[in-house]
Amino acid sequence: MSIAQEAARRRTFAVIAHPDAGKSTLTEALALHAHIISEAGATHGKAGRKATVSDWMDMEKDRGISIASSALQFEYAPEDHEGEPYMINLVDTPGHADFSEDTYRVLTAVDAAVMLIDAAKGLEPQTLKLFRVCKARGLPIITVINKWDRVGREPLELVDEIVNEIGLQPTPLYWPVGEAGDFRGLAHVTEDGEVDGYVHFTRTAGGSTIAPEEHYSPDAAEAKEEDVWETAVEEAELLALDGAVHDQELFESCETSPLIFASAMLNFGVHQILDTLCAIAPAPRPRDSDPKAVAVSTSAMDETRDLDDAFSGVVFKVQAGMDKKHRDTLAFMRVVSGEFDRGMQVTHAQSDRSFSTKYALTVFGRTRDTVDSAFPGDIVGLVNAGSLAPGDTIYDGRKVQFKPMPQFAPEHFRTLRAKSLGKYKQFRKALEQLDAEGVVQILRNDLRGDASPVMAAVGPMQFEVMQARMENEYNVETVTEPVPYSVARRTDEESAAELGRQRGVEVFTRSDGELIALFGDKWKLAFIEREHPNLTMEPLVADD
C-alpha cells in the first residue's frame, strides 16, 4: 500500500476524563474486543482485582490511578469490513489534575479524543478542562457516558449539561435501552435521527470477557423490551427533532460530539466505540511547521509536511524506568509524514545532529515488540533516546520543525536533595533524566546550587512520583522541603537583578534556559508589579 493508503487506515486517539471515570478500564476493554488480550484486568487493582495492563508503574497499581500516559497499538476490523484492518493507536492518559501536563502533551499527538463521563457524576472539573483544551486545539471529540450499569442520572439531563456547560452538542449514535443501573442494550441511531435497530447485551462473569450481543429489528425490540424500548426511541427522536444528529463536518470542526452509552466494566458498548472510531474519527493529516522556526531558519524549511513527504515525527513524551532490566529511555514519537524504517538515520531538528533509530518499538503497557516500519499516525517508542525531549522534531530529507511542546504554569514548589552525600552522582543523573521527561520542572540558582534544586509542579502528587522513581529506578532516597513561594512568572536578565533584591522573591533558571521568578504569594506579586511596572513578569501559560 502507498503511504497515503496506510495513513488512511490509522486511527490515533486519546482516552481522557476525570479520575475514576473508567479510562484505563475502557482501554483494556477496547484491547479485549480487538482480541489483543483474552481477559480484561478490570479496574486498577481496586478491591483485590488485577491492575490494567496499561498501568505499568508500581505506584499506579498501588493507588489504582493512572499516573503516566500509556500508548497501545493494535489492529481491528469491524464486522463486515473489507480490506486491511484499521491500525489503532490508543493513548490512555492520567485523569488526575496533578498530571494534566502529561495529558495535554498527548493531545498534541493524536487526531481525536474519546471523552469518558461518569453516568452518575456528569461533567466534573477535570472533564471540563480537557473538553476546553480539545476544543481549543480543534480536536474532534467522541463522548462516551460510562458506567451505565450503575445507578446514575437521566440521559437527557446529561446531554443538556454538556450543551449548557461547554457548548458542545452531543449527537447520539447509540442510545441506552434501560435507565442507569438497568442497562439492557443500545438503540442504534442513524445520521437521519431514526432508530433502526437494537443491540441486546448479556453479562459475563465479572465482565472479564466480551459480552455476547443479540441484534433485533425495531419491531422485535419493542416486543422484547416493551415500555423500556419505547422510552429509548422517544428520547432519541426528541433529540433528533432538536437537530442533534450526526454531521461529519460539524463533528470535525468540534461543534458536535457523537455520543455513545457504555459500561467498560461489563464490556457493554465497547465494540460500538471501536466501530465508531473507525467509521468517523479523522485519519492523520498534514502538519504545519512552527512559524517561529521557519522565520529564523538559515536554510529552506517545509512550512507544511504532507503525509507522503519524507519521514518526520514529533516526540510527545519521554519515559524511563519502563523496563528495570534494561534501564533505558523511551521517547514516544508520533509519525507525522512518510514511512519510518527502523535503523534509518534521521536529523534532530533542534540540534541539527544526526540521530540513529536502530532500536524502535511498539509498546503495549510494559510489553515491547520491535517495529520495522511505521506510517503517519503511528506511535513508536525510540530506545535510548536521551537526547530527545518532549516537543522535539526528527526528520529525513528537507528540514521541518514542528511547534514546541507547551509548558504549564506550576503552582507547587519544593526543594529536593539526596539523603546521602554518597549518592550525589546518582542523584544528578536521575535529576537530569526525570527533568528531561517533564516529571517536574527543575529550577536552579547559584544560591542553592545543584545539590538542592527547586521542583516546580502543576500538582503536589508529581513530587511523590519524582521521589518514588528516584528511589525505585536510581536507588536514591531523597528529602523534600517546602519553599515559601506559590506564584511563578517568566522574567528576563534585565529584570532578574532587581527582582532578586526584592524580599519574598527568588529568581531561578529553568532547564530550558528560561528565567523564572518565584513570589511568596499573589499579593507580593501585585505589590512589585505596582512598584516596578517596567520589570518583566509574564505569566507562564501553555501556548494553545
- Show the CA angle centred on residue 370, arms to residues 364 and 376, nearest 5°: 75
95 known ligand binder: yes
| Residue with grid cell 503552582, as numbered in its chain | 411
Looking at residue 93, its amino acid is: T
> Environment class of residue 523 by beta-carbon count within 10 Å: exposed (0-12), middle (13-18) or buried (19+)?
exposed
Q: Which of 82, 64, 83 is nearest to 19 (CA)?
A: 64
d(CA 402, CA 134): 19
DSSP bridge partners of 539: 489
d(CA 131, CA 256): 12
d(CA 205, CA 169): 36
The sign of the dihedral angle between the CA atoms of 159, 161, 164, 166 is: negative
d(CA 157, CA 280): 26
Residue 89: its H or E element: strand 86-92
- Indicate the SS3 state at residue 77: coil
The sign of the dihedral angle between the CA atoms of 255, 261, 266, 270 is: negative
Q: Which of 372, 502, 511 is nearest to 537 (CA)?
A: 502
Q: Which of 321, 316, 246, 305 is nearest to 279 (CA)?
A: 246
Maximum alpha-carbon separation in the chain: 80
Q: Is residue 531 left, alpha or beta, with left meaning phi > 0 and alpha meaning psi from -120 to 50?
A: alpha
C-alpha cell at 398: 528537507
Q: Count Cα neighbours of 293 within 13 Å in the Cβ-side half-sphere.
A: 21
Give the phi and the psi of residue 126 in degrees, each rounded to 5: -70, -35
d(CA 170, CA 35): 30
Q: Which of 419, 407, 164, 392 is nearest to 290 (CA)?
A: 392
92 known ligand binder: yes
- Measure Cα distances from 230 to 192, 195, 217 in Å: 18, 11, 13
**CB within 8 A of 7, min separation 6: which ones?**
283, 284, 307, 375, 376, 377
- Measure Cα distances from 381 to 49, 271, 317, 388 in Å: 29, 27, 9, 12
Annotated binding site for GTP: 92-96
Annotated binding site: 92-96
